[in-house]
């Protein structure tokens, strides 16, 4: 099967997440994969070397989460090669996606992807997330391979203005989240839900941990109920 056919098949399997797959969308994904493979030789963007493996382990893995993410303002923390932010920006051109990456070489790669794929809805923020400033609170702050849940919240909570704290969500993409890590989410934050993901071409376990800030003083029984 050609890469183009594999991309088309994967997008078809994600029809609930990708509502309007078309030729241009497929072309952008193939182009993105080609750029990762090219730059990976020098910048070590990912340990995955085979392009088809990248398609499933990176692109499809990222896109499987789209239907559970709220836009239109998204901040992808520690995005690395642009995951999951760039695949999401490709299929959701109505979203504004900010890619946070402190590694300057990786940030240069992201800027090149933005230019070559004409992703006007993407902004690259080449700085540590702890010092980052955004004009508007994001609807979703997402991470794929960034940090533990506790560090994820602690290093990004300043991005959300007090008036938006109840509306915004933190979404962590995880493969194996232990109870010890789940317990790092403490008041006034709570795990709203855990969503198992089905990723085309992958049998490995994937899930989303969705976190929100509570609007009322927390009670232990409420927290436990939301941990699930």
Residues 139-156: pLDDT tens digits? 999 999 889 999 999 999
Residue 17 binned pLDDT confidence (cut-offs 50, 70, 90): low
> For residue 226, what pLDDT is reported?
46
Rounded to whole angstroms, the Cα distance separating 46 from 60 reads: 15
pLDDT at 228 over 60: no
pLDDT at 224 over 90: no
Is residue 127 exposed (0-12), middle (13-18) or buried (19+ Cβ within 10 Å)? Answer: middle
> For residue 15, what pLDDT is reported?
75
pLDDT digits (tens, 9 = 90+) for 111-135: 999 999 999 999 999 999 999 999 9
> For residue 204, what pLDDT is reported?
86
HSE-CB of 102 using CA atoms within 13 angstroms: 8
pLDDT digits (tens, 9 = 90+) for 97-107: 999 999 999 99
> For residue 22, what pLDDT is reported?
74
State both tokens at 59: 């692109």
- Cβ atoms of 99 and 110 within 8 Å: the answer is yes
**Ramachandran assignment for 78, one of left (phi > 0), alpha (psi -120 to 50 degrees), beta (any other):** left
Rounded to whole angstroms, the Cα distance separating 102 from 45 reads: 13
pLDDT at 20 over 70: no
Sheet with strand 96-100: strands edge to edge = 122-125, 96-100, 73-77, 140-143, 169-174, 207-213, 189-196
Architecture of domain 3-227: 3-Layer(aba) Sandwich (3.40)
pLDDT digits (tens, 9 = 90+) for 58-95: 999 999 999 999 999 999 999 999 999 999 999 999 99
pLDDT digits (tens, 9 = 90+) for 155-205: 999 999 998 888 999 999 999 899 999 999 999 999 999 999 999 999 888
Residue given tokens 């969705």 in the structure block: 210
Domain boundaries, the chain: 3-227
> For residue 185, what pLDDT is reported?
97
pLDDT digits (tens, 9 = 90+) for 25-46: 999 999 999 999 999 999 989 9
> For residue 174, what pLDDT is reported?
95
Rounded to whole angstroms, the Cα distance separating 83 from 32 reads: 11
> In this structure, how many other beta carbons lie within 10 angstroms of the beta carbon of residue 108?
15
Rounded to whole angstroms, the Cα distance separating 83 from 99 reads: 9
Sign of the C-alpha dihedral computed for residues 207, 33, 40 and 96 taken in this order: negative
> For residue 98, what pLDDT is reported?
98
Helices 23-43 & 3-13 angle (0-180, nearest 10): 120
Rounded to whole angstroms, the Cα distance separating 51 from 55 reads: 6
pLDDT digits (tens, 9 = 90+) for 210-221: 999 997 655 555
- Pairing relation of β-strands 207-213 and 189-196? antiparallel
Residues with Cβ within 8 Å of 174's Cβ and at least 6 positions away in sequence, in order, are: 206, 207, 208, 209
């Amino acid at each position: 099967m050609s890469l183009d056919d594999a991309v088309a098949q994967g997008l078809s399997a994600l029809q609930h997440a990708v509502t309007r797959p078309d030729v241009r969308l497929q072309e952008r994904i193939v182009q993105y994969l080609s750029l990762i493979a090219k730059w990976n030789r020098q910048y070590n963007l990912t340990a995955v070397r085979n392009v088809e493996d990248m398609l499933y382990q990176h692109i499809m893995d990222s896109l499987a989460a789209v239907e559970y993410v709220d836009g239109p303002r998204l901040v992808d923390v520690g995005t690395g090669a642009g995951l999951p932010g760039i695949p999401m920006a490709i299929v959701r051109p109505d979203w504004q996606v900010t890619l946070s990456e402190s590694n300057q070489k990786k940030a240069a790669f992201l800027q090149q992807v933005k230019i070559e794929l004409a992703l006007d809805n993407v902004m690259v923020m080449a700085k540590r997330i702890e010092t980052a400033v955004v004009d508007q609170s994001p609807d979703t702050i997402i991470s794929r391979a960034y940090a533990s849940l506790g560090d994820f919240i602690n290093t990004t909570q300043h991005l959300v203005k007090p008036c938006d704290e109840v509306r915004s969500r933190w979404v962590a993409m995880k493969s194996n989240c232990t109870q010890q890590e789940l317990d790092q989410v403490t008041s006034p934050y709570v795990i709203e839900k855990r969503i198992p993901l089905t990723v085309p071409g992958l049998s490995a376990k994937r899930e989303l941990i969705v976190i929100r800030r509570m609007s009322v003083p927390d009670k232990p029984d409420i927290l436990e109920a939301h941990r699930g």
